[in-house]
Amino acid sequence: ADLQFSYKSMLFLGLTGRNEWSTTLPEKNNSFFFPSASLGFIFSELPYLKDNDFLSYGKIRASYAQIANHATPYNVINTYTSAIIIDGWATGDSFPFLGIPGFTPLNVLANSNLKPESLLSREIGLELKLLQNRLGFDITYYNNQNRDLLIQVPVAGTSGYNAQYMNAATMENKGIEFMADAAPVRTADFNWNIRLNFTRNKNKVLSLAPGVTDISLGGFTGSTINVVAGEAYGSMFSTSFYKDNNGNLIINDNPASAGYGYPIKNETMKSLGQISPNWILGINNEISYKGASLSFLFDIKNGGIMWNGTISRLLGFGTSKITENRGQSVVFEGVKGHLDPDGEIITSGVKNDIEAIYSQYYYTVIGGGASPAQEQFVEKTDWVRLREVSLSYDFGRLIRKSVMKNLSVYATGRNLWLSTPYRGIDPETNLMGAFNAQGLDYFNMPNTKSYVFGIKVDF
């Protein structure tokens, strides 16, 4: 059902109600209703604000909506697939084999209690256009809550399955979106327009299903991207170095240890923060003079982290420029300490004065290699990026009397410049591709810098 009401072209109310039945859910949970409501007030239509030279348009809006998401097929009952026998070396045999069929269960355990995933969305916004539409603003505050998120959760291998599809989490996203556009210069021949888009989102996992302490989205050699209650969705967990209560590194003072004089690795995974940014900002400029047009887009990101596994391995291989200091002596800043026979850390609090060497052991075990404390390779991914530049010229004014209706030439470049504290190739790339486990760099391929040149002719 969809109901729309309006009053004097300035007050608008919309109400909707929808019920769906899903064949991918168990019969007891396959029906779900989701309503929505929206309210808008165009206050610039008020009599005393009409024909105002300063305020061209003004609107306040609010909305409430509930949206449901179906489960993917074949997760309510256990299903089977054609079997393949593989020994890990040869290509294996697949069924049917010699006319004999064979099937094996899928590695995801079915769940007959699945419910639809739901999104509760609430937002309020303000839209303004000023000075005869030469300056505009649009700001929105939103608070969204995802309930009964459908996620594959790992289960004990003794069950015969790798994971089970379940309603495993409740998550909240809230933040602001701000858009602005301005026309600082507008003449018959020259125009300059600026558009700005700003987004700040705060994300938090409110709860997980009973019995679920965390959900791994993916990872590699000591750094994983997990879902944990109380943390942001997609938080990075890594091994680290032991530190005292004041945050000082604890340096191994046991002369009998191979790690004497080096920081001590803590095998316990700890949260290092969220991989997603605090905020992102896009700034687009469009300048035109007669037939010539120039546009350029800057992309700015603040916050977020990434595991730089590439530099960790290069240090272990001895091929990083950093390893040019090998053989040099070093005294690591921190306090002295060691692990007792029970694996407990003991520290005297005395400032470290032990002289160590940037040796092969250090770069392959402590400060690099396959399994060092990965915290040291988790880096900030702030950036300022020149995302795109486009230049064109329209010869329309010059060829009006020719057989051509229009002629234009253009050139566009993408990913032309990047400034970032990240030491890897590009913090926008990801080892897992478009998968949920973002923030992992292990010999990733860089983004492509591209150039396009063209001629457009209309007859």
User: What digits encode the pLDDT tens for the residues 177-187?
Assistant: 999 999 999 99
Q: What is the mean pLDDT of the chain?
A: 92
What are the residues whose beta carbons fall under 8 Å from the beta carbon of 19, sequence distance 6 or more?
31, 32, 33, 34
Secondary structure (H, E, C), 217-253: EEEECCEEEEEECCCCCCEEEEEEECECCCCCEEEEC
pLDDT at residue 415 greater than cutoff 90: yes
By CB atoms closer than 10 A (0-12, 13-18, 19+), residue 373 is buried
Cα(323)–Cα(376) distance, rounded to whole angstroms? 15
Q: Note whether residue 244 is domain-resident.
A: yes
Give the distance, in angstroms, between the CA of residue 457 and the centroid of all CA atoms in the same chain. Answer: 41
**Cβ-defined contacts of 85-94 (< 8 Å, 24+):** none
Task: Name the range with the highest mean pLDDT among 19-33, 147-161, 195-209.
Answer: 195-209
Q: What is the pLDDT of residue 160?
A: 86
Q: Note whether residue 113 is domain-resident.
A: yes
Q: Are 17 and 35 in contact (CB under 8 A)?
A: yes
The three-class DSSP label of residue 147 is strand
Q: Note whether residue 41 is domain-resident.
A: no
pTM equals 0.86
Angle (CA) 270 200 61, round 5°: 140
Q: Note whether residue 228 is domain-resident.
A: yes
User: What digits encode the pLDDT tens for the residues 279-300?
Assistant: 999 999 999 999 899 999 999 9
Q: What is the mean pLDDT of residues 415-438?
A: 90
Q: For the ranges 49-58, 138-147, 218-227, 391-400, which has the lowest average pLDDT?
A: 391-400
Number of domains the chain contains = 1
At 103, is the pLDDT very low, low, confident or very high (cuts 50, 70, 90)? confident
Cα(197)–Cα(135) distance, rounded to whole angstroms? 14
pLDDT at residue 402 greater than cutoff 70: no
Q: What is the pLDDT of residue 26?
A: 92
Per-position b or e across 193-211, b if 16+ CB within 10 A of its CB: bebbbbebbebebeebeee
User: What digits encode the pLDDT tens for the residues 195-247?
Assistant: 999 999 999 999 998 888 888 888 887 899 999 999 999 999 999 999 999 99
Q: Are 322 and 330 in contact (CB under 8 A)?
A: no
Q: Note whether residue 55 is domain-resident.
A: no
At 413, is the pLDDT very low, low, confident or very high (cuts 50, 70, 90)? very high
Cα(23)–Cα(36) distance, rounded to whole angstroms? 24
Cα(394)–Cα(350) distance, rounded to whole angstroms? 73
Q: What is the mean pLDDT of residues 260-275?
A: 94
User: What digits encode the pLDDT tens for the residues 347-391?
Assistant: 999 999 999 999 999 999 999 998 899 999 999 999 999 999 999
pLDDT at residue 401 greater than cutoff 70: no
Q: Note whether residue 51 is domain-resident.
A: no
Q: What is the pLDDT of residue 88?
A: 66
193 compared with 398, residue with greater pLDDT: 193
The residue segments making up the domain with residue 151 are 69-458
Place of tokens 């459908």: 150
User: What digits encode the pLDDT tens for the residues 68-101?
Assistant: 888 888 889 888 888 887 766 777 778 888 888 8
* Encoded tokens for 439: 């923030």
Q: Note whether residue 61 is domain-resident.
A: no
